[in-house]
A and B are shown apart, each in its own frame.
Chain A
Amino acid sequence: MAEVTQLIHQYLRHNKKFPLVFCPGCGIGIVLGSLVRSVHALDIPKDDMVVVAGIGCSGRIAAYVDFNTVHATHGRALTLATGIKMASPHLRVLTVMGDGDALSIGGNHLIHAARRNIGVTALVVNNFIYGMTGGQCSPTTPFGSYTHTSPQGQMEKSFDVVEMARAAGANGVYRGSVFHAKALDGLVQRAMSRPGFNLVEVMTPCFTQYGRGNRFRSPVEMFQWLKDTMTPREVYEKLEDKTGKLPMGVFVEHDEPGLEQRHAAMRQALADKGGAGS
């Protein structure tokens, strides 16, 4: 399988400093790997691939990959991605956002990108925490978890990203985990090859800011937790006792055309009526 790693090396920017900035055992590197493998498997030319990242540890992915990369402002990746996709519909636009980035400060953009069905793939890198700012609670921090800003345990409920995206009207909604890397590749590829707005929630451990404060003794234990917890949806649904399990897989798949496709059709219709356009 030597080509697995070599392939990734070939998609990394060689003028960047390595190793990656991420902490030891941080799952974001695996997300990066999955992204690269997916682009490669789908045979997307580097020049056509646009990665728009938000601010956070996960947003750091953008600088490493040899695509067109945009590191936006915190929470706003989808707004720039919308502009890019509408301006150049032939480009393959993917956003990488943290849980805080996508759901807190960028929550409004997320639901509207889903409603609008803009042809963008959104990776939501869910590590239950604000990693980059040093471990404050996020909208996905599990109830009762300890963070620097929930020292007595989180008292607020957390978002279910999948249900939220579904309700907002996303064309495709998926959940994967970095422990299940090969399955994640499949989900990312699937999300990237379908029309409209497709969201993949990626469960990934942040030992440094979340794990240490919540009874995990090492990154390995957090990977073990993912292994034990994440359950294929088909299996999950048949479980009698779902406690401590989280479903992953394909949750929503509609085939509505993306907004950029609807715009093209509208302009075509205008042109056919003789009203300029194109």
Chain B
Amino acid sequence: MTAKRKQLYNVVIYPDWCKGCGICAAFCPKKVLRIDHQGKARADREDECVNCGFCELHCPDFAIVVRPRNGLASSMSGPTPETADPPSAASGAASPLSAASQSPEPKRA
């Protein structure tokens, strides 16, 4: 992928699991999400998503998956818990409480 082209993401919400608590919408740094009239999260501004990971880490109901738009196939057929590499960006070596690790910065999955 070239440095200039902006990577796009799909922000998939499983409505059956979403309880509409609004946490993802409130804290998304790019205001990608909102709660729709049915009380479910909806990614209205999907193109703005920078895959910061906040929503996935904080959805209490595991109802959001963010995937690179062209990497769909690989992550779908993806890792099983036995074979998956530890998601380094998500949980791996992050030192506890380094303030930076909390700030929603764009990261590549």
Contact = CB atoms under 8 A, between A and B. Distances in A.
Contacts of B51: 1
Nearest to A10: B81
A3 B53 contact: no
Contacts of B17: 18-19
A263 to B, nearest CB: 30
Contacts of B101: 182-183, 186
B58 A181 contact: yes
A212 to B, nearest CB: 14
Contacts of B95: 186
A218 B57 CA distance: 19
B65 A2 contact: yes
Interface string A3-45: 1111111111000001110111111111001000110110100
B1 interface: no
A5 B84 CA distance: 13
A1 B107 contact: yes
B63 A19 contact: yes
| Range for the number of chain A residues in contact with chain B | 35 or more
A150 to B, nearest CB: 26
Contact of B94 (A30, A40, A183): A183
Contacts of B66: 1-2, 5
A8 B90 CA distance: 12
A233 B20 CA distance: 33
Contacts of A41: 86-87, 91-92
Contacts of A46: 81
B56 A1 contact: yes
Contact of A24 (B21, B64, B107): B21
A223 B89 CA distance: 23
Nearest to A180: B102
Contact of A25 (B22, B53, B57, B96): B22
A189 interface: yes
A232 interface: yes
Interface in A171-210: 174, 176, 178-183, 185-187, 189-190
A26 B60 CA distance: 7
Nearest to B25: A220
B89 A1 contact: yes
B30 to A, nearest CB: 14
Interface of B: 16-23, 26-27, 51, 53, 56-68, 75, 78-81, 84, 86-87, 89-92, 94-99, 101-102, 107, 109
16 contacts: A1-B51, A2-B78, A3-B75, A3-B87, A5-B62, A5-B64, A20-B61, A25-B21, A27-B60, A29-B62, A186-B94, A186-B96, A186-B101, A189-B91, A190-B96, A219-B22
Interface of A: 1-12, 18-20, 22-30, 33, 37-38, 40-41, 43, 46, 174, 176, 178-183, 185-187, 189-190, 218-220, 223-224, 232-233, 235, 248-250
